Amino acid sequence: MSDIIRIFKRYINQVLSRHGTVQSEIPSKKRQNVVLERPSYFNRHEDRDFIVLGTGATLNEYGEKIKALIQDQNLIIIGVNSISSFIAPDYHGIINRTRLIQYGQTIDKNKSRALLSVYHTDALIDEYCQAEHDLIMWRDTGESQQCDIDSKGIITHHGGSATLMVMVAYVMGAKQIYVAGTDGYIDPSSDYHSIHYTDTPYKDNLNKEELESKARYWFTDVQPQAFDTIKLWSKKNNRRPFLMITPTQYQQHYAPKILHNY
């Protein structure tokens, strides 16, 4: 692909992503013959405290408090998907191909390092991400009750971007992990602003019923089980359990007092 065509395609996708639209032609192939090995980020920030940022609507209300906490405690930031409109994180995680096409060009290459799924092809990464990146070494069993990190730092996990980034933080050596912007399920057919900080749908070809069904699956079935399983794993392996610091439907993980003094 010539540089002119590549630049033009990037421009078109930037415009479409700003309007909540994604090109219908999404690459369907994953990287073949993947070899999982010790990740480049293994114990990179041992004993540091982290914050993992989802893109829930609570970022609107609690944004200033979150940023004050980050500065006060010098937290390492891992954000996902469209997080650049809120903050330039230290690490910008994208594991879904659609989201990489939507938001890969929004990664601030001067401030953020990308965390990309090892299953993204080199061609996809080259086209949609200009930032330096690490490949996330993980396997998806399709079972949110399964969660582990082996001696090489390879993750076994089934969940969304935020839950996987919590596991990546543990692999990086995190001591305490805070989580914000993981609000849980809110009916997207009534007001999409309620479920996503930047109001950008996952796929523009889904009708309201399909969108609601997809949201229910991820936010009421997969995500709660994934967070519960991660917490069980952390306790079993003598790691500090993560703490959610913004209002969430995953109440058992919510620690509201963390932001009280900010």
List, for residues 52-78, the tens digit of each pLDDT value: 999 988 998 999 999 999 999 999 999
CATH code for the domain in which residue 26 is found: 3.90.1480
pTM of this structure: 0.83
Rounded CA-CA distance 248/61 in Å is: 13
DSSP 20-71: T---S----PPPSS------TTTTTTTT--EEEE---THHHHHHHHHHHHHH
Encode pLDDT of 2-36 as tens digits: 445 455 555 555 544 444 444 444 555 777 788 89
Domains: count for the chain: 1
Q: Is the pLDDT of residue 237 over 70?
A: yes
Could you tell me the sign of the dihedral formed by the alpha carbons of 66, 72, 77, 83, in that order? positive
Do 82 and 162 contact (CB within 8 A), yes or no? no
- Give the number of other Cβ atoms within 10 Å of residue 252's Cβ: 10
Band (pLDDT 50/70/90 cuts) for residue 215 is low
Could you tell me the sign of the dihedral formed by the alpha carbons of 131, 175, 119, 228, in that order? negative
Question: How far is C-alpha 94 from the chain's CA centre?
Answer: 6
Q: Phi, psi at residue 139, to the nearest 5°?
A: -130, 140
Encode pLDDT of 147-174 as tens digits: 899 999 999 988 889 999 999 999 999 9
Q: Which domain holds residue 188?
A: 3-259
